[in-house]
Structures are given as C-alpha cells and as structure tokens.
Chain A
Amino acid sequence: MSGRLEVMKTYKLYINGAFPRTESGRSYEITSNKGEFLANACLASRKDLRDAVVAARAAQSSWAKATAFNRGQIMYRIAEMLEGRSDQFAQEISLQTGSSAKESLQEVSDSVDLLVWYAGWSDKLPSLAGSTNPVSGPFYNFTVPEPLGVVGVIAPIDKPLFGFVAAIAPILVSGNTAVALASSTAPLSAISFAEVVATSDLPNGVLNVLSGQQSELAPWFASHMDIDGLDISGLPVDQHGAVKEAGVENLKRISTFTKSSEPGRILAFMEAKTVWHPIGN
C-alpha cells in the first residue's frame, strides 16, 4: 500500500455567498448508482430556506439595478468558470448518476453553452418583450419588463447539473435572485456549481443553493410569503396541485417548463410595467 489518502470534499449549503452547514445539523448519505458512499450532503431545513430567502431578498434590488450589460458579463463569467472545471464536473455527474464519461462531459458542455445563451439575453429581451404603445391621446406610453423579485426553484432530479443550470440561468439573468433546491438524489453537482458561482463575481445572495428532500421543503417554498415566483419543473406532477394551492396565499407566480432554452423561461419570472406621461408643454 503506497499512494496517498484522498482528501474528500465536505458538501455544504450556499447561502449569501458563504458555505454554511445546515442549521439543523442533519445530513443524508449520497451514494453512487452502485451504492458506494460519495458524501454526506446537508439535509436543509425550513429555517435554512428562510435564511436563504432573507439573503436573496437583500441582494435583489442591487442585482436588478446592475446594468443588463453587467449582468450578462457575470453570467458569461459563470460559463467560463464552469468550462475550466469540465472534467471534475463530468466525473461528479458520472459518480452520482452512473452516466458514461462521454455523456457526463456532454452534460457539462451543454450547461456551459446554455449559460452563454442566457447571458446574451440580458440586454436584448427587454427590447423584444417591452413595447411603446400607441394610445389614443397626447400621452407617451411604454411597457418594460422588470424582474419579479425572489424566485424559488425545485430543480429536476435527473441531469443534476444541466437541469439546475437551465432553471437558475433564466431566473438570474433578468435581475431576480434565486433560492434553489438541488436534485434530492444527486445534489453534489449543484453544490459544486455554487463554487463556480462564488468565483464569478455574482454578488452574494443572488444565488442560494440548498440540498435536501423535495417532500420536506417544497411545501415551505410554496407557502413562503417572501418568495414571489417558483419553478416547480423538478417536482413530480402529482404534487403540483398542492404546491400551487399553497402558493395562492401571496399569489406566487408558479411555472413548469419542458424546454431548457426559451426566452419564455425568463419572461415567466418578469412583470410588465406600463408607464404613462402626458405630451405637451
């Protein structure tokens, strides 16, 4: 026996730019598809969710106020950072899901390319989704899309990296902040992705990542009064009704998506603001 003992990573949560353990002190075992131990992931609690929402709310207005150009550049920077760690991410995906090295590397490349695609929308979508409106009267009237605020994500179980990126990129690019629950069975990719984000100049609190059980946390995402929108694409369809019902208390905007790259995913978490001003002297 020669060789050295591997230094294993402790996977923690990502809240407000820091990597805390869950306040609950709980963890759950993540295994490979062959049943080998991979890590003890944090089993995030309702309190962790609330802390993450506080961070996301605090970060939201300044992120929305950043110029579209700046937000686009930061999103592109995330893609750059991810590209440089492709092999590590591919290996991590394969360990968790059992997909082949080639498939996993493809998932990473797809994730990088999707980030680049969404990054470019930041300073273009408002031109397409806004309008100047020809009203009957001496008024200048225009409509602009604005970010919704704090958006929750229940990420898909499959495609632990690509599914996560496809959910958070369209939310962040418009100026929303996000609290995202990683794939319950394969959360390691999302937690590692947080390390990429942490080195990409994304302001603290703009993206917050939790690992834990959908069944435990989804109801709290749904009923939280300071979450404005929710992407439940990753949640089994038979649970959508209950989540939507709980979301009614603050008329949360709740959506599911089937396509990964479409501007509609960005617009689902934006509001249209219409402004009138008289013309004349």
Chain B
Amino acid sequence: MNFEYAAAPESRSVVKIDPEYGHFINGKWVNGSKHFNTINPATEEVLSSISLGSAADVDAAVKAARNAFEKSWSKLSGRERGKYLFRIARIMQERAREFAVLETLDNGKPIRESRDVDVPLSAAHFFYHAGWADKLEYAGVDTTTAPHGVVGQIIPWNFPLLMLAWKVAPALATGNTVVLKPAETTSLTALLFGQVCQQAGLPDGVVNIVTGDGSTGSAIVNHPGIDKIAFTGSTEVGKLIARAVAPTNKSLTLELGGKGANIVFGDAAIDQTVEGIVNGIFFNQGHVCCAGSRLILQESIADEVLEKLKRRMDKIRVGDPLDKNTDLGAINSAEQLAKIRELTAAGEAEGAGRWSSNCALPENGFWFAPTIFTGVTQAHRIAREEIFGPVLSVLTFRTPAEAIEKANNTPFGLSAGIWSEKGSNILWATQQLRAGVIWANTFNKFDPASPFGGYKESGWGREGGRHGLSAYLKGSAK
C-alpha cells in the first residue's frame, strides 16, 4: 500500500512583487543607482531587482535616522512610542498571509514554517516590546532609560522577517531610530515591512531600510553617525565587525554562530526524542544558528535512536516550499549549498559514515537531502564547524561527564539540548552546559519573552525578554 499526498500549494496571488525596489529612507522609496537580482531559491526564478546600497545611500539613511531621533522620536513619550509598535504588530497580523508567502518565495523555507513560526513570532515580538516602551524604568538592574540614538542593524537570511522584528522592535521601544540592512538574498519581507511602517504612520526616518551586500553592511558599521551596531550572522563576520568597532565609542551586540549539542541520555523517551532531534536539525533546512547539529547519544540507546531517526528522516517531505505538506524547503542560495557540500565532503573524507534520506530532489533550485554522519569524532570538521544545513553529526558517550565534556568542547556556546526523564539529571546537565539557551525535552522553541543569545564565541548580549532590552539602553558599564 502506498499513500501519496496530493499537492497542496499555497497561492502566491496574495503577494504583489514589484519588478524593482528602492531603499526605504526617511519614509520614502529611494531608488539606488545600482541593482542586483533576488531569486526564489526553490526555482531560481528572478523575483525582483533590488537596490544595492552605496555609502551615500547609507549616509542619507543615517542622516534621516538622526533627524528623526532628535526631532520626533526621542520627544515622544514611551506610551506614544508603544502605540506605534502596537499598530505595527496589528498590521503584520493583518498582512500575515502576504508576509508568509513572500518569505517562502524569497527564502525557500516551507510555508508551514513561515506561516506558523516566522510571521506570528515577528508580530508577537512587536506586541511584546510595545508594552515595554512606557515601562523602561523597570527593565533591569543598573540600566538607564536612555536610548543610544541611531542604531545600525544587520540581519541574516535564515529568518529574514523574524530577525528584523528581533532587531527593530526593541530598538524602537527604547526610543532609538534604525538603519537596517537585510541580507543580500532576502530583502523582500523587509521592504514589505517598510510599507507597514508607512501604513502605521510611523514618523519619517524612524526606520530606514537600505538593501545591499557586504559593502553596504560595512558602510553602516563604519559610519561615524551611528551610536550602536547590532549584528546577527556568522562568527567570522561578527569578529570583523567587532574589530572595526573596537577603536570607536559605538556599542555592539552580536548574535553569531553555533554548534549546538543535543544530548540524549539513556533514560530519554525515545520517540519524543527522535521528533526533537528532527526538529533540532531539520527545522528551517538547518539554517539555524542554534540548531542541534551535534547529536550526542548515550551508547546504550544509540543504535535504537539511530534506527528510529533514519526511519523518521525517510518521512521528511522535501520539495516545493509553497506546498503546505512540505517539511524541508530549499537551501537559501547556491553559495550556501556549495558550503554544505564542501563540509559534507570533508566529513566523508575524514572517515565519518554518511547516510541521507531517500528523497527525490527537484531539478531546479538548491536542494540538499536530510543527512546524518555517524562515527564522528571531535576532531572532524563536521563536529567543529557550523554547516548551517540539514546535516547532523552523531557522537556517542558512556558517562554523563563525558557527554558534558564533548558538548562544551567548542568555541561556540549558543544552544544545547538535553533529553532525559530524570529531573535532577536535567538540572545537573543544564548547569554544566556552557550555552545561553538550553532546551530540555524540547528544541528550537522561541518566544519574545525568552532571552536568546550565546556564551563564548556565539556573541555578545541577549535578544528578547528583559535581558534583550538592556542592549538598546545606555548602561553605566561600557
């Protein structure tokens, strides 16, 4: 008996994509002098032509943001600022379907995830921070209520709208104005967000969006008129930014890479754990900085878990991201696909055992089948480097102490997972793990009220919750 799913594609008629986009500066659309194409990674179809932000574009955006900070935004009461954020949240909910389809077209992620995770969480982020705007005096220990001024924000392509929300919502709630650069391959939902700002009647220049590539980001980082930089992306680029900012008075927060350990103890509930492992590494094609990319299994249950995991992986539906049944969408870009291929080739060359699920991949676009490597040692590149794709490295352990040592044996410290049915064991492991977010008997859960961010080389500062707010307020310590 063979059960096949009928195709269940979401209609793309809900979105209108312009053939060409300008920057959103001072409340107006300003066409750039140079453009580049943005494509649908699932089909390689060109979606639109995006402005490539120059130093002059960035300068205009910073001037607009400075002007807005001084003339309008910093003069508003927190209560009034909050009401603008509530408006933005509402409009994002009203246009949720449009955002979800556009995100899936531009990014390649399954509509199920953009619809159920990215867009609702983005709106929730604005709702959450809206309520903080008039309560900043209660926000923390030794924090002030003073904003930095103009904030430059550079965000990645894996959660384009959600990362925008993580950056823009707290910045506006605390009274800063913003110059935001979306990732080169995923600008469209940020540009749609510009329309939301217009509909909300947000004062001109409070949010400015300059699209472009690394050179545009560099112009933002090095602009003397910016008071604070917030960056989410790779540790490599994060360090470049930190070096550039070091001799200046700019403050800096960084949300960088990870190599999350997902530890399964012998007493774990196996079926639930297998679902958690799948969610940990195959959610969003593994394009997740906090992905559970190193599975660390207790030897006693390793064979059973791997067998069930492979069986489950064979059920992962890879294909058209707009199909509502799709579990795993397209890899975001040719460049990222090449990186995944390079690292998985290294995994084979270094002697790990490769297994990929038996799924048909579409001919056009960028695709990678769900893959696990067994027999991975800590020295292998696939155990040390962030692959940022649907690839899981499996290691084993005998004693709990060994599990912790392996989990912490990385310069990263963003996330970790623990699977065990024994409460005291979970709390013990939680204390030992050097990571900013610990998921116990769950994985990849996010919420605006929950601080997110890394230890060690996974970054500086937190986003979300009370802890995330302080990054946008002047502190007494520098």
Chain A residues with CB under 8 Å of chain B are: 125, 128-129, 131, 133-137, 139, 141, 143, 228, 241-242, 244-245, 247-251, 253, 255-259, 262-265, 267-268, 271-278
Contacts and interface: CB of A to CB of B under 8 A. Distances in A.
Counting chain A CB atoms within 10 Å of each CB, which of B254, B456, B477 scores highest?
A: B477
B477 A272 contact: no
A140 B457 CA distance: 27
B246 A133 contact: no
A276 B239 contact: no
Contact of A143 (B239, B254, B467): B467
A135 B456 contact: no
A270 B22 CA distance: 43
Contacts of B456: 228, 250-251
B421 to A, nearest CB: 12
Contact of A274 (B235, B246, B256, B438): B438
A135 B243 contact: no
B445 A276 contact: yes
A64 B437 CA distance: 19
A121 to B, nearest CB: 10
Given A249-B239, A257-B477, A275-B430, A133 B450 contact: yes
Contact of A272 (B235, B453, B457): B453
Contact of A244 (B140, B246, B411): B246
Given A248-B246, A251-B459, A278-B442, A272 B451 contact: yes
B465 A264 contact: no
Contacts of A259: 476
A256 B477 contact: yes
A251 B445 contact: no
A131 B466 contact: yes
26 contacts: A129-B141, A133-B450, A133-B451, A135-B447, A139-B445, A141-B449, A143-B451, A241-B247, A241-B248, A245-B246, A245-B247, A248-B246, A250-B456, A251-B235, A251-B256, A257-B476, A257-B477, A264-B475, A264-B477, A265-B477, A267-B477, A271-B436, A272-B462, A274-B465, A276-B438, A276-B440
B438 A272 contact: no
Given A251-B456, A255-B477, A262-B476, A273 B435 contact: yes
Interface in B62-87: none
Contact of B142 (A241, A245, A263): A263
Contacts of B476: 257-259, 262, 264
A29 to B, nearest CB: 34
B304 to A, nearest CB: 22
Given A136-B124, A245-B246, A264-B476, A274 B457 contact: no
Nearest to A138: B442
B123 to A, nearest CB: 12
A233 to B, nearest CB: 10
B452 interface: yes
A267 B141 CA distance: 9
B242 interface: yes
A131 B465 contact: yes
A255 B251 CA distance: 11
Given A143-B451, A241-B246, A251-B460, A276 B442 contact: yes
Contacts of A255: 477-478
Contacts of B460: 251, 253
A258 B474 CA distance: 14
B29 interface: no
A135 B449 contact: yes
A255 B142 CA distance: 15
A244 B449 contact: no
Contacts of B467: 131, 143, 272
A129 B437 CA distance: 16
B36 interface: no
A271 to B, nearest CB: 5
B302 interface: no
A272 to B, nearest CB: 5
B246 to A, nearest CB: 4
Contacts of A141: 447, 449-450
A255 B437 CA distance: 24
Contacts of B453: 272
B441 interface: yes
A273 B438 contact: yes
B450 A276 contact: yes
Contacts of B435: 273
Interface string B39-61: 00000000000000000000000
Counting chain B CB atoms within 10 Å of each CB, which of A128, A267, A268, A272 scores highest?
A: A272
Contacts of B440: 275-277
B426 interface: yes
A256 B249 CA distance: 12
A195 B441 CA distance: 48
A134 B449 contact: yes
Given A241-B247, A251-B459, A264-B475, A277 B124 contact: no
Counting chain A CB atoms within 10 Å of each CB, which of B254, B437, B447, B457 scores highest?
A: B447
A273 B478 CA distance: 21
A265 B142 CA distance: 9
A242 B246 CA distance: 7
Given A131-B465, A241-B247, A245-B246, A264 B451 contact: no
B452 A274 contact: yes
Contacts of A136: 124, 447, 449
Contacts of B457: 250-251
A262 B475 CA distance: 11
Contacts of A276: 437-440, 442, 445, 450
Contacts of A264: 141-142, 475-477
A128 B139 CA distance: 11
Contacts of A265: 477
Contact of A248 (B243, B449, B475): B243
B243 A245 contact: yes
Contacts of B430: 273, 275
Contacts of A272: 436, 451, 453, 462, 467
Q: Which 10 A-B pairs have the closest CB atoms?
A: A241-B247, A264-B142, A135-B447, A244-B246, A245-B246, A248-B242, A133-B449, A277-B440, A275-B438, A268-B477
B413 to A, nearest CB: 8
A125 B437 CA distance: 20
Given A250-B411, A251-B239, A262-B142, A277 B426 contact: yes
Given A129-B141, A248-B246, A256 B452 contact: no
Nearest to B458: A251
A184 to B, nearest CB: 22
A265 B452 CA distance: 22
Contacts of A267: 141-142, 477
B142 A135 contact: no
